[in-house]
Amino acid sequence: MTDWSWLVPLPVVIPLFAAGLALALYRRPRLQPIVSVTALSLVLLASVALLVIVDDGPLVVDVGDWAAPVGIDLVADRLSALMLTISSAVTLCVLLYSLAQGRDDDEESAPVSIYHPTYLVLTAGVANAFLSGDLFNIYVGFEILLAASFVLLTLGGTGERIRAGSIYVVVALLSSVLFLVAIALVYAATGTVNLAQLAIRLPEIDPGIRLVLQVLLLLAFAIKAAVFPLSAWLPDSYPTAPAPVTAVFAGLLTKVGVYAIIRTQTLLFPEGRLDDVLMWLALATMVIGILGAVAQDDIKRLLSFTLVSHIGYMVFGIALSSDAGWSASIYYVAHHITVQTALFLVVGLVERVGGSTSLTRLGGLARVAPVLALLFFVPAMNLAGIPPLSGFLGKLGLLEAGVHVGTPLAYTLVVGGIVTSLLTLYALVKAWNKAFWQSPEVEPRPVRLPFGMVGPAAALIGVGLALTFAGGPLYAYTERASEALVERSPYIDAVLPDGERGTGDSADVAEHDDRISIDLGGGDG
């Protein structure tokens, strides 16, 4: 069998190198786009290849040939390969969209020379977080993508963006500190930060300390994923950024947090002691998020609130901690990344044509831009979960999993999920009616929409529809992914073949490693 593990680091390495190249080419605005589009296309190819290959078993790379528990390892299993594929498809579409916007607009909203390197660094950070098999390396991945997102969110440095950026940056830094504290305590308790080794060692420590570690990690990730009540920062900060930036943030950044929750809950804390708490949080996130969306006038803020609300569905799937729950949750993440990004891209187009994002001021767009009406309608219905679109399949899977678990709390969540879905439909149909059918105060002038912007948005909607038609195979894939997650041994065996160390070349140095395996209070617990 051919060894394909050289593919694993590519989604991190290619964008980083391309970022350097794009930065060096800052005086050549024509070459920069070529570099970044090529890089992200290659990443997409590598991710698709990984998606196919890791179906036979996880691929592991010990970076620098240092054996796993001591060195850093990158692991591609079904979950991370699926996340990578969806995220690289989305980042490529958004990049093409922003290029067309840059060609068509004035300097004010156009991508400046720093845009390309930063965007590439962002994708590298996302890929690093998805692939990392090491808690500290996940932290580094988070920091890479956060640093890039700070720059993208405050592009141009206008007063409004600085205001929104301050909130985002402070909240992000706080969650980073929490994550760092959690890592320090994990290391103090177990003497390792390698996920596979943690999976072996965590059951050996005191249950109370294990619970503290779980809560700390969940807290750090829940801020990133915008789970209520840690979600207030999101609708405050996302809407002010340029449309493509908001789109990629909405699609990807919260999902990195959700991915981290899925990974740590399955691999490190499989006994699910916080499931009931997570259930309540999921319910609150769904219902309060969507009630916020219903109240909004600005369409970007409305979408930001639906984003928060639908994170609740994923947390619901996670909290069920059954095979079906994980599987539906993973499918829902894939669906939600594409559909939410597509909606934000279309809203960028709406803003172009209508000159505003306020639902009071917008109107009559159906006459001026009928294509746009369709482009907004399809992902909106998809998000609300109208059959037969992928949103329906995702929600159906979650509800089935909830009914299958069958506790009163799970049934409450099922009802909450249906109510949220209906309210999403209400909020989006209201937005659609107002933007496209209401008689406008000022008749909008016909604006030619550049194909470069419509094309990528339509392509993303196409991906969303493809998730519907490929629903069967994709669900089968997520089911296999969740089986491996629940089983845990495929991941651990791939990283530590002999249960002790990885395949790297540092065995003689690491012999003494066992001495670090002490627990904080584990002995007397």
Which residues are at the interface with another protein (CB under 8 A)? Answer: 70, 136, 140, 143, 147, 150-151, 154, 157, 159, 162-167, 169-170, 173-174, 176-177, 180-181, 183-185, 187-188, 193, 235-236, 239, 295-298, 301, 359-360, 363, 430, 434, 438-439, 509, 512, 515-516, 518, 520
- 348: tokens are 């960028």
Give min distance, CB of 440 to another protein, in A: 10
- If the CB atoms of residues 22 and 169 are measured against another protein, the closer one turns out to be 169
Residue 501's alpha-carbon distances to 68, 137, 190, in angstroms, are 6, 18, 16
- If the CB atoms of residues 299 and 453 are measured against another protein, the closer one turns out to be 299
- If the CB atoms of residues 62 and 143 are measured against another protein, the closer one turns out to be 143
Give min distance, CB of 133 to another protein, in A: 16
Give min distance, CB of 431 to another protein, in A: 9
- If the CB atoms of residues 430 and 488 are measured against another protein, the closer one turns out to be 430
The string over 241-256, giving b where at least 16 C-beta atoms fall within 10 Å of a residue's C-beta and e elsewhere, is: bbbbbbbbbbbbbbbb
Distant-in-sequence, close-in-space partners of 442: CB < 8 Å, separation ≥ 6:
none
Give min distance, CB of 261 to another protein, in A: 21
Opening angle at CA 105, ends 103 and 111, nearest 5: 65
Give min distance, CB of 127 to another protein, in A: 18
- If the CB atoms of residues 41 and 176 are measured against another protein, the closer one turns out to be 176
Query: What is the H or E stretch that residue 212 is in?
Result: helix 207-225
Q: How far apart are CA 140 and CA 126, in angstroms?
A: 10
Q: Which of 283, 291, 289 is nearest to 250 (CA)?
A: 289
Q: Which of 371, 374, 353, 370 is nearest to 362 (CA)?
A: 353
- If the CB atoms of residues 174 and 200 are measured against another protein, the closer one turns out to be 174
- Farthest CA pair distance, the chain: 76
Q: Which of 73, 155, 149 is nearest to 108 (CA)?
A: 155
Give min distance, CB of 360 to another protein, in A: 5
Give min distance, CB of 507 to another protein, in A: 13
Is residue 121 a contact partner of residue 274, using CB atoms and an 8 Å limit? no
- If the CB atoms of residues 71 and 257 are measured against another protein, the closer one turns out to be 71
Q: Which of 219, 218, 227 is nearest to 268 (CA)?
A: 218
Give min distance, CB of 384 to another protein, in A: 19
- 392: tokens are 């329906």
Q: Any idea how long the chain is? A: 525
- If the CB atoms of residues 159 and 473 are measured against another protein, the closer one turns out to be 159
- CA-only gyration radius of the chain, Å: 22
Q: How far apart are CA 203 and CA 467, in angstroms?
A: 38
- If the CB atoms of residues 80 and 149 are measured against another protein, the closer one turns out to be 149
Give min distance, CB of 163 to another protein, in A: 5
Give min distance, CB of 239 to another protein, in A: 8
- If the CB atoms of residues 92 and 217 are measured against another protein, the closer one turns out to be 217
Is residue 51 a contact partner of residue 470, using CB atoms and an 8 Å limit? no
CB atoms within 10 A of CB 28: 12
